Amino acid sequence: MGPRALLSPGVLVRTGHTVLTWGITLVLFLHETELKQQEARGELLQPLLFILLVLCSLLLYLAVSLMDPGYVGPDPEAPSPPPQKEPKEEQTAMIPEKTFRLRRCGYCLLQQPLRSKHCRSCKRCVRRFDHHCPWIENCVGERNHPLFLAYLAVQLVVLLWGLHLAWSGLHFRESWQSWLPHNGLLFLTFLLLSIFSTVVTLLLASHLYLVASDTTTWEFISPHRIAYLRHRPDSPFDQGFARNLARFFCGYGAVPWEVLYAQEEKGEAV
């Protein structure tokens, strides 16, 4: 690995995330928080559980950050990666000809399947493109979106627990001049955890809302720029709360988006 690869944005972001995570964890263990008190009493269950949750969040982060989000390959007719499945014969027969036309990407010159978009940061087209996340330095798309939500959920638990631990170590009985040198780092950690907890909470809530209505962030923000949404009030792929969640997390009843779009168009025409 050359110097340029070591200084690439992805390596720097992932290294920064890892260092910050373990740095905050170390601060919580070094100050007079509940973790340190439990450790001093020999009660190791909660400290070990906290470490395991931090490690789990880091592993999920690296998995989401490093995995293929669903890049469009050179063959537009190839089967889509999970959770998409090949359409059944009767479903394929329902698709009227010329209902829609595949768009050719102006950057990589590939035909884009429905709901895919070219990411300028990754320089690739991504299936069911949601957004490019600078915090993971990767796109969130068809393949890693469910894992991205799992990462957010675990990360939120860690952040809220860390926020509680940081607060447990802040004692305001001393004067400000004598308190700040001993608790300044822990207070800074508390502020960082407060900001991160708020951001992750909003992000997780917004993604769960979009998943429940089968809409991506890109489709929600820019429907006027997307041909299949430009003149529609809602998503043509929405099959109801329960089916949307089952298809997203488990791949249950998943079919290509072209089939759902054609079925929706046919239903409106009738």
> Tell me: the pLDDT tens digits for 41-86?
888 899 999 999 999 999 999 999 999 999 998 754 444 444 444 5
Domain contains 26 = yes
Residue 62 amino acid letter: L
CB atoms within 10 A of CB 165: 26
* Tokens 């675990």, located at residue: 154
* Sequence-ordered list of residues with C-beta below 8 angstroms from that of 22, at least 6 positions apart, any chain: 54
Domain contains 175 = yes
Handedness of CA 216, 219, 220, 222 (dihedral sign): positive
> Which whole number is the average pLDDT over 12-41?
92
Domain contains 216 = no
For the ranges 3-17, 97-111, 112-126, 225-239, which has the lowest average pLDDT? 97-111
Q: Does the pLDDT of residue 262 top 90, yes or no?
A: no
Q: How confident is the model at residue 8 (pLDDT cuts 50, 70, 90)?
A: confident
pLDDT higher at 252 or 229: 229
Using CA atoms in the order 84, 85, 90, 92, what is the torsion angle rounded to 10 degrees?
A: 60
Q: Would you call 51 exposed, middle or buried from its count of C-beta atoms within 10 A (0-12, 13-18, 19+)?
A: middle
According to the model, what pLDDT value does residue 167 have? 93
Domain contains 117 = no
Domain contains 36 = yes
In the chain, how many domains are there?
A: 1
Domain contains 50 = yes
Domain contains 184 = no
Q: Which residues are catalytic?
A: 133
* Tokens 């768009």, located at residue: 103
Residue-level length of the chain: 270
Supply the range of the domain harboring residue 15.
1-66+145-179
Domain contains 165 = yes
